Amino acid sequence: MASDRTTTPRNRIPLEHARSWLLTAATSTEQFTIAHHCTSDAVIYDLEDGILPDLRGGARHALRSWLSPTHRGWVRINPAGSPDWRDDLDALRNQPGVEGVVLAKCESAQHIEETATRLPASTPIIALIESALGIERGFDIASTPHTQRLAFGIGDFRLDTATSTEPAALAYARGRMVVASRAAGIAGPIDGPTVSKHDNQLEIDLGVTRSMGFTGKLCMRPEDTARVNTALSPTNDDVQWAGDTIDRLGIDGHNIRHGSDRPALARAHRIHQIATVFSNL
């Protein structure tokens, strides 16, 4: 399994920069093959909500047969403390091809720590936050050494809080996740998926994702992943601006003259770094 915070998913993108995260139910080799060959930065094989409880034993067996050094991916496991959680971790403990785990319905740092103790040392964990309690404990969750990123489980969060899908209704939760991630020193969080296929809903949702400071997005459909990658990458104009800004202010800031120059240079360096990662694919 992966050993540190620079683990690279199957497309060689460091996990802290991975944009599209395809969720696919751990049901069959056909599903696995489709996910493996799509354009997502990372694949998450789902042993939780994507699988009926009575079928999870078979799903674990199918996934173990698929995962290998050449068939790699993340695995969404069931909530901490549940019988399925224990069975998921037992099945994955020494399984080749596991990049890391996505812990469903995470509500505390303890959930992360209990999960980590049942996996090989330093296995990366993404905390899927899906409740009001999880949001309020976001900083503690993000601050554990095993948590690589936070992800937003919008559907279950809405069930827990009786909120709508309107961006304003979810802005507080999203904002808390972004601030918690930044304060804990980990990469930006991963937004929830767009479920609707209606018109340009994905583009609308991606506008919210970007504006709120999220740097990744869960995907339910393989065809969405390329659009997510494009939307969450620097544009040509962004890259040109970053280059011009670094040239003008100096790579080390020796030409800074105004207070506003320093944050502009920091943003330019971030854009340049991200663009370099993606250009090397």
Instruction: Report the percent of the chain where pLDDT is more than 70.
Output: 95
Task: State phi, psi for 152 to the nearest 5 degrees.
Answer: -105, 115
Nearest of 149, 99, 108 to residue 126 by alpha carbon = 149
Give me the helix-helix angle, 154-161 and 167-184, nearest 10°.
120
pLDDT at 203: 96
Q: What is the pLDDT of residue 280?
A: 67
pLDDT of 194 over the 50 cut: yes
Higher pLDDT pick, 249 / 191: 191
pLDDT in tens, 64-94: 999 999 999 999 999 999 999 999 999 998 8
pLDDT computed for residue 238 by the predictor? 85
Amino acid at 168: A
pLDDT at residue 173 tops 70: yes
Percent of the chain at pLDDT > 90 equals 74
CB 65 within 8 A of CB 90: no
Q: How confident is the model at residue 8 (pLDDT cuts 50, 70, 90)?
A: very low
> Can you give the chain as a three-state secondary structure string?
CCCCCCCCCCCCCCCCCCCEEEEEECCCHHHHHHHHCCCCCEEEEECCCCCCHHHHHHHHHHHHHHCCCCCCEEEEECCCCCHHHHHHHHHHCCCCCEEEEEECCCCCHHHHHHHHCCCCCCCCEEEEECCHHHHHCHHHHHCCCCEEEEEECHHHHHHHHCCCCCHHHHHHHHHHHHHHHHHHCCCCCEECCCCCCCCCHHHHHHHHHHHHCCCEEEECCHHHHHHHHHHCCCCHHHHHHHHHHHHHHCCCCCCCCCCCHHHHHHHHHHHHHHHHHHHCC
Length of the chain: 281
- Under 8 Å between Cβ of 275 and 242: yes
Mean pLDDT, residues 183-199 taken together: 94
> What is the reported pLDDT for 13?
83
Q: Is the pLDDT of residue 44 over 50?
A: yes
pTM score, whole prediction? 0.90
Does pLDDT of 165 surpass 70? Answer: yes
pLDDT band at 118 (very low <50, low <70, confident <90, very high): very high
Q: Which of 2-6, 109-113, 195-199 has the lowest mean pLDDT?
A: 2-6
Q: What is the mean pLDDT of residues 213-225?
A: 96
Integer angstrom CA distances of residue 81 from 76, 88, 103 = 15, 11, 11
Q: Which of 52-61, 63-72, 146-155, 244-253 has the lowest mean pLDDT?
A: 244-253
- Kindly indicate the confidence band of residue 281, based on its pLDDT and cuts at 50, 70 and 90: low
Report the candidate in 140, 148, 129, 153 with the shortest Cα–Cα distance to residue 187.
148
Q: 138: exposed, middle or buried (C-beta count within 10 Å: 0-12, 13-18, 19+)?
A: buried
pLDDT score of 4: 41
**Sorting pLDDT into bands at 50, 70 and 90, what band is 55?**
very high
Find the mean pLDDT for residues 1-26: 72
**What pLDDT does residue 45 have?**
97
Query: Which among 220, 239, 223 has a CA at the least distance from the CA of 278?
Result: 239
Cα separation values, 268 from 174, 218, 242, 261, Å:
24, 26, 4, 10
Task: Provide the token pair at 8.
Answer: 């690279």
Average pLDDT over residues 203-221: 97
